[in-house]
Amino acid sequence: MSSAMGLKSYAAVDLGASSGRVMVGRVDPDRLELTEAHRFPNRPVRTPEGLRWDVLALYAGVLDGLRAAGQVDSVGVDSWAVDHGLLDADGALLGNPVHYRDARTEGVARKVWATLPAEELYAATGLQYAPFNTLYQLVAASGTAQFAQARRLLLIPDLLTYWLTGEQGTELTNASTTQLIDPRTRDWSYEVADRLGIDLALFAPLRRPGDPAGVLTPRVLEETGLAGPVRVTAVGSHDTASAVAAVPASGERFAYICTGTWSLAGLELTAPVLTEESRAANFTNELGLDGTVRYLRNIMGLWLLQECVRAWGEPDLGGLLLAAARVPALRSVVDAGDAAFLAPGRMPERIAEACRTSGQPVPASPAE
């Protein structure tokens, strides 16, 4: 928008596990106006090697969104956590990034704990146990031909930022989900990396939310029709970090529930909680904006619903929810966080099987 009007425009690229969008925020001293410029699907692909993200389709969606956004003053990118792309010595991507729901990390955590016990790992990094944490993905990848060629690892928002700008960096809030960051120092946990044989030189230098991340390259300007220079700024590139920063809290003591494929419930603290009680309750310490810690628990969110809807051929969701509301509630109860529901595919059948094996009524229709 015209700076003469006192307005500045910002493009926010927000990538989730099932869709991506480009939002435009127009800001002046008195107001914030948000517009969705473009929304596009995020459809993972099952290849012979396993489950992969179609990152090229995501990047195309980002370019389409920036074109639809029109002239902006700055761009920022956020996405889900833990997943990453591997680059060779020339900076070229070595294959589509592996999806965190891929089976390659099954059993890896126990191998890690044999070298670095879970209690010590939590005391050093404060990160909850999840089988797909970047740390376990790296251990699973070690010894593969692709990993042997890798000279750089970029988390998903950093990878897209690199393609937009040609500049490489590792944004801190997302890096804190790798299980390789010390939440007290807000820097790499060199001891953890050393004990597990992980070369931290694989990561680009850390940068913080608000740091400059480059400018759109001439090729991107040509693709999007934007007039340069257009700055790209590091944001809280873990989507939950940005979401928590936007919570309209009236004071410092507030809780939040952030819901998507996952739901995250927690607090914003000034220091991490690294006690054994915290580990046993599987709370995590992820880094937020302005020196904060997002102390939270992961809860299975809308994943089961998303997968069921996908299996049924994308029926009208409004009609489905109305029909579900007419069905008696809580006839059967399953644990949505059970590892049996982690992978994609056949979700209605797996839910029915969980009811059957636990002796509960088996749902016989989508509404049930």
SS (H, E, C) 99-160: CCCCHHHCCHHHHHHHHCCHHHHHHHHCCCCCCCCHHHHHHHHCCCHHHHHCCEEEEHHHHH
| 330 touches 359 (CB < 8 A) | no
Phi, psi dihedrals of residue 346, rounded to the nearest 5°: 55, 35
First to last CA, the chain: 49
Q: Which of 30, 83, 239, 338 is catalytic?
A: 239
Compute the distance between CA of residue 97 and CA of residue 58 in angstroms, rounded to an integer.
12
Closest CA to 179 of 124, 230, 258, 220: 124
| 206's tokens | 């850390």
Between CA 74 and CA 361 the distance in angstroms is 54
* Polymer length of the chain: 368
Q: Which residue type is seen at 271? A: A
Residues 24/72, Cβ–Cβ less than 8 Å: yes
User: Is 239 an active-site residue?
Assistant: yes
Cα 42 to Cα 45, 55, 127: the distances in Å are 10, 9, 27
Would you call 317 exposed, middle or buried from its count of C-beta atoms within 10 A (0-12, 13-18, 19+)? exposed
How far apart are alpha carbons 308 and 323 in whole angstroms? 15
Contact predicate 321/368, CB 8 Å: no
Cα separation values, 315 from 15, 310, 321, Å = 23, 8, 11
**Alpha-carbon distance 108 to 26, whole Å?**
46
Q: In terms of Cα–Cα distance, which of 180, 176, 157, 182 is closest to 167?
A: 157
Q: Which are the catalytic amino acids?
A: 239
